[in-house]
Amino acid sequence: MGLQTPSSTTSYDQSGTYILDLSPQLDEILLDDATLLGIIGIGEPVEQTKHQWDSDELNPVTFKAAAAALNISATTLLMSAGYTGRITAGTLIKDQLSGKYEVMQVTAVSTVSATVVRGYGATAGETHAASAVYDIIANARPEGMDAPKDESTIRAREYNYTEIFSKGVELTGTAIAIKRNAISREDLKQIDNRMRELTRELDRTLIMGIRAATDHTDAAYGTMGGLIDFIKNATSGNTNTTAETLTPSVLDAMVQQIYDDGGTPDMVIVGATQKRKISAFDKEYRRTTMDSRRAGMNVEEYMSDLGVTLRVVLDRWMPVDCALVIDSSKISVHPLQTRAFFLEKMAKTGDKEKWQIVGEYTAEVRSAAKSHAIHTNLKG
């Protein structure tokens, strides 16, 4: 749908109006094309060019042992640096490795050293590899215990910068006056085209944008980081780079990465090449009847073997070798206050009319390391 004629209440020729909000036009364009931006939508305005938010997390339920194996009878378990404070006297732990069933109970903790009772309950002692990851089953407490230690977590402060998106339109008086086939107004047509280009640019930036090293000024271009930038560069994030074909097992593994981190993924984002892979996941099992008149395969949702259902989102700007699994509730796009896309009529010079379209936006990608996963280097 194009821009409205002057008789419409959304016209660019409203009497006495020189700066017009284009948010309705943005919504209209997003309805025309099912891009990632159209699905995520536009959130409330932000107040600073360096937009900051806090990410809150629950305490982890695993810890990693030091680089030393634990034999079948040892009673001292050493933890890797950075994993201390997760267990206390009374904690029950179990090696996460498949085939390991021994449960141990912690009786004392001193910095990185934990004293443990081996083969707790009816379980039997086993050997455990160096750097093993242990599940924290529960932190058992004794009767008459003192108040437990404070386990409040520190919120992580994250940020992104706003980025200015802008295009201009300049038409001579003659160009505006000429009657053209199927175009009622040349100025409205060109403004509509530029707005569509800016919407496309914002969608590309949401996916592929790179966050600038510093905030922008009149002498430095500001750029906002997109999904790939945040997820790929997150410390200890779910990043996969194996050269392989996208298969159900590969996609399930990405879902499990997020699930194991406590996340709730609900969407997989791919370009055309990887979308075709997903649509063909189960093609050999599909059957048609003799009266079928339509052939083809399109998968709009994928259910992983963990029971997690992912909406399959096709976006033409996704890199050909990349797939993203995300929790869409932790992704949002926001304009800077008073800077959502607007049209401004510029000063007239000679026999010309000039307009500019300007918008300033940023994106939030919360819990990039645990709520999302990325796989690059996928085969075509």
The pLDDT value recorded for residue 294 is 72
Give the model confidence (pLDDT) of 108-147 as tens digits.
999 999 999 999 999 999 999 999 999 999 999 999 988 8
The pLDDT value recorded for residue 10 is 45
In a domain, 91, yes or no: yes
Same domain flag for 266 and 339: yes
- If you average pLDDT over residues 79-92, what whole number do you get? 90
Same domain flag for 76 and 207: no
Residue 202 — very low, low, confident or very high, per pLDDT cuts 50/70/90? very high
Same domain flag for 29 and 124: no
pLDDT higher than 90, residue 76: yes
pLDDT higher than 90, residue 290: no
Same domain flag for 74 and 188: no
Strands 267-270 vs 323-326: parallel, antiparallel or unpaired: antiparallel
Q: Cβ contacts of residue 17 below 8 Å, gap of 6+?
A: none
The pLDDT value recorded for residue 198 is 96
Core vs surface per residue 69-78: b (16+ CB within 10 A) or e: ebeeeeeebe
Q: Which amino acid is at 370?
A: K
- In the chain, the number of structural domains is 2
Asked if 337 and 347 count as a contact pair (C-beta separation under 8 A), the reply is no
- If you average pLDDT over residues 5-21, what whole number do you get? 52
Apex 360 CA angle, 25 and 331, nearest 5:
85
The pLDDT value recorded for residue 209 is 97
Residue 13: name the closest of 177, 194, 188 by CA. Answer: 188
Q: What is the token pair recorded at 46?
A: 């932000």
Apex 235 CA angle, 153 and 210, nearest 5:
120
Q: Does the CA dihedral 242-243-249-251 come out positive or negative?
A: positive
pLDDT higher than 70, residue 172: yes
Q: What is the token pair recorded at 133?
A: 């990851």
In a domain, 294, yes or no: no
Q: Does the CA dihedral 45-231-202-9 come out positive or negative?
A: negative
Same domain flag for 199 and 249: yes
Q: How far apart are CA 362 and CA 343, in angstroms?
A: 19
Same domain flag for 196 and 333: yes
In a domain, 146, yes or no: no
Q: How far apart are CA 126 and CA 100, in angstroms?
A: 8
- If you average pLDDT over residues 148-157, what whole number do you get? 81
Of 16-20, 48-52, 168-172, 292-296, the range with the lowest mean pLDDT is: 16-20
Same domain flag for 310 and 330: yes
What are the beta bridge partners of residue 159? 52
The pLDDT value recorded for residue 106 is 97
Q: What is the token pair recorded at 298?
A: 């399109």
Q: Residue 113's domain spans which residues? A: 62-139
In a domain, 347, yes or no: yes
Q: How far apart are CA 55 and CA 329, in angstroms?
A: 13
pLDDT higher than 90, residue 256: yes
In a domain, 359, yes or no: yes
- If you average pLDDT over residues 349-364, what whole number do you get? 94
Q: Cβ contacts of residue 1 below 8 Å, gap of 6+?
A: 28, 32
- Give me the percent of the chain exceeding a pLDDT of 90: 67
Same domain flag for 214 and 84: no
User: What DSSP character marks residue 283?
Assistant: G
Q: How far apart are CA 149 and CA 57, in angstroms?
A: 18
- If you average pLDDT over residues 2-8, what whole number do you get? 43
Q: How far apart are CA 276 and CA 288, in angstroms?
A: 20
What are the beta bridge partners of residue 158? 53
Give the model confidence (pLDDT) of 15-57 as tens digits.
444 678 888 888 888 887 779 999 999 999 999 999 999 887 7
Instruction: Find the distance separating the first CA and the last CA of the chain, reported in whole Å.
Output: 34
Same domain flag for 183 and 242: yes
CATH of the domain at 364: 3.90.1690
The pLDDT value recorded for residue 83 is 85
| Residue where a domain terminates, one of 139, 169, 195 | 139
pLDDT higher than 50, residue 340: yes
- If you average pLDDT over residues 313-330, what whole number do you get? 96
- If you average pLDDT over residues 191-210, what whole number do you get? 96
Task: Work out the mean pLDDT of the chain and round it to a whole number.
Answer: 89
The pLDDT value recorded for residue 244 is 97
Same domain flag for 208 and 258: yes
| Residue where a domain terminates, one of 104, 139, 174 | 139
The pLDDT value recorded for residue 287 is 66
Q: Cβ contacts of residue 294 below 8 Å, gap of 6+?
A: none
Asked if 31 and 93 count as a contact pair (C-beta separation under 8 A), the reply is no
The pLDDT value recorded for residue 316 is 93
Q: How far apart are CA 221 and CA 238, in angstroms?
A: 30
Same domain flag for 89 and 220: no
Same domain flag for 39 and 103: no
The pLDDT value recorded for residue 376 is 97
